[in-house]
Amino acid sequence: MPRNLASSTWDDEPRTKTGRRSRWDDDEPRHRRTPKLTTDDQGGPPEGARWSTWDDIGIPHGPEPHPDWVVQTLGAIDYELGILKTGKEADVHLVERSVPDTDIGVLMAAKRYRGAEHRMFHRDAGYVEGRRVRESRMNRAMAKRTEFGRELLSGQWAYAEFTLLGDLYSLGAPVPYPVQLDGTEILMEFIGDPDGTAAPRLAQYRGTADQLHDLWDQCVQAMCLLAAAGYAHGDLSAYNLLVHEGRLVVIDVPQALDIVANPRGPQFLRRDADNVCKWFSSHGVPADPADLTHRLLDEARMLSPGQR
Ligand SMILES: Nc1ncnc2c1ncn2[C@@H]1O[C@H](COP(=O)(O)OP(=O)(O)OP(=O)(O)O)[C@@H](O)[C@H]1O
Ligand SMILES: [Mg+2]
């Protein structure tokens, strides 16, 4: 098999002590699309592509060590390969970052938060409480939802998601590796096939009973891992979980919250538990939201001795 088309060996990987699957093996070559993409007459990006922004000043990168598949080469080009999904608050595009005339290249998902005009703000009210920026002019702009304020909120959501992805990835949670942040654009690990087909969301997934039980186990493990580190996802459902080659991946994390500091932390845990339990129980996996919430509160050390 050509090096760049090798697929993941996730399912064959050993589980860690906690029973959690280890992450991608970073030595595993990551995929890119073939055939090689082209350059213009001067060897630069053709129309619709851009020079890689990896080395641009002020671009934060994901946690170190960067996985081997991250393309850091000067002179790499970012090719836009199309839209993966239009969401409520962001559009997710498929981008290939590759070095012209070489075999070096990787597919990534580019999540671009919308600016002023198109965005719906259903998330902002509850979640940005307490997430304050220093300048009061900015706070006022965000509160009034002025255009400037909306741009700021988009940037804040992108920043929050990028930072959380990095933190969760470093904890060993099954989230896409965040490659870089550029304003309202997050470039992250693409979860899908070498031909650019994105992994289905759990909501669309049809598997055998064994596969569904295994995904349920992975879901509980991921939620426990987050709870033990003090987080609730805050918008977890079968729409924010992807399934790729038997592996469950948690996405869309910008609203993840600190369950100890946020007075509504336990409520958010309960809501996440309700959502996933509802989906799994309706697909034949016994999943009890009260049990799961109890377990998550226990992981978060939020139960008194009498409650345990
Ligand atoms: N890293 C990724 N790899 C592959 N597909 C992805 C990735 N990230 C997001 N997607 C796809 O894009 C969709 C939207 O992403 P996400 O949920 O993060 O954004 P959103 O704006 O909150 O969208 P929605 O309103 O649909 O929840 C996902 O449901 C998934 O299909
Ligand atoms: Mg989503």
User: Does the C-beta of 59 come closer than 6 Å to ligand 1?
Assistant: no
> How far is residue 117's CA from residue 263's CA, in Å, rounded to a whole number?
32
Ligand nearest to the CA of 202: 1
Q: How many CA atoms lie within 13 A of 45 on its CB side?
A: 17
Fold designation for 202-307 = Transferase(Phosphotransferase); domain 1 (1.10.510)
For 3-189, the fitting CATH number among 3.30.420.40, 3.30.450.40, 3.30.2320.80, 3.30.200.20 is: 3.30.200.20
Mean pLDDT, residues 126-137 taken together: 52
16 band by pLDDT with thresholds 50, 70 and 90: very low
Q: Which long-range contacts (CB under 8 A, 24 or more apart) does 73-77 make?
A: 73/99, 73/104, 75/51, 75/99, 75/100, 76/51, 76/52, 76/104, 76/105, 77/37, 77/39, 77/44, 77/45, 77/49, 77/50, 77/51, 77/52
144 φ, ψ (degrees, to nearest 5):
-85, -5
Beta strands 178-182 and 185-189, pairing class: antiparallel
Q: What is the pLDDT of residue 37?
A: 74
> How far is residue 237's CA from residue 99's CA, in Å, rounded to a whole number?
37
Q: In this structure, which amino acid lies at residue 127?
A: Y
User: Does the C-beta of 192 come closer than 6 Å to ligand 1?
Assistant: yes
Q: What is the pLDDT of residue 56?
A: 95
Indicate if the pLDDT at residue 90 is higher than 70. Answer: yes
Tens-digit pLDDT profile for residues 189-247: 999 999 999 999 999 999 999 999 999 999 999 999 999 999 999 999 999 999 999 99
22 band by pLDDT with thresholds 50, 70 and 90: very low
DSSP codes joined into one string, the chain: --GGGPPP-GGGSPB-TTSPBP---TTSPPP--SSPPP--TTSS--TTEEE--TTSTT--BPSSSPPTTS---TT-EEEEEEEEEE-SSEEEEEEEEE-TTSS-EEEEEEEEE--TTT---TTHHHHTTT---S-HHHHHHHHHT-HHHHHHHHHHHHHHHHHHHHHHHHHT-S-PPEEEEETTEEEEE--B-TTSPBPPBGGG----HHHHHHHHHHHHHHHHHHHHTTEE-SS-STTSEEEETTEEEE---TT-EETTTSTTHHHHHHHHHHHHHHHHHHTT----HHHHHHHHHHHTT-S-GGG-
User: Does the C-beta of 88 come closer than 6 Å to ligand 1?
Assistant: yes
User: Does the C-beta of 239 come closer than 6 Å to ligand 1?
Assistant: yes
Give the distance (Å) from ligand 2 centre to CA of residue 241. Answer: 9
Indicate if the pLDDT at residue 102 is higher than 70. Answer: yes
Q: What is the pLDDT of residue 103?
A: 87
Q: What is the pLDDT of residue 145?
A: 55
Contact 113, 155 (CB under 8 A): yes
Indicate if the pLDDT at residue 10 is higher than 90. Answer: no
Q: What is the pLDDT of residue 23?
A: 41
Indicate if the pLDDT at residue 12 is higher than 60. Answer: no
134 band by pLDDT with thresholds 50, 70 and 90: low
Q: What is the pLDDT of residue 253?
A: 97
* Structure-model confidence comparison of residues 261 and 134, the more confident one: 261
Give the distance (Å) from ligand 1 centre to CA of residue 101. Answer: 31
Q: What is the pLDDT of residue 35?
A: 53
* Structure-model confidence comparison of residues 151 and 114, the more confident one: 114
Q: What is the pLDDT of residue 48?
A: 86
Indicate if the pLDDT at residue 21 is higher than 90. Answer: no
User: Does the C-beta of 234 come closer than 6 Å to ligand 1?
Assistant: no
| Two domains, one topology: 3-189 and 202-307 | no
Beta strands 247-250 and 178-182, pairing class: unpaired
Q: What is the pLDDT of residue 217?
A: 98
308 band by pLDDT with thresholds 50, 70 and 90: confident
114 band by pLDDT with thresholds 50, 70 and 90: confident
* Average pLDDT value over all residues in the chain: 84
For the chain, the structural domain boundaries read 3-189, 202-307
Which of ligand 1's atoms lies nearest the C-alpha of 235?
A: 27
141 band by pLDDT with thresholds 50, 70 and 90: low
Tens-digit pLDDT profile for residues 45-65: 999 899 999 999 999 999 999
How far is C-alpha 280 from the geometric centre of its chain's CA atoms?
Answer: 21
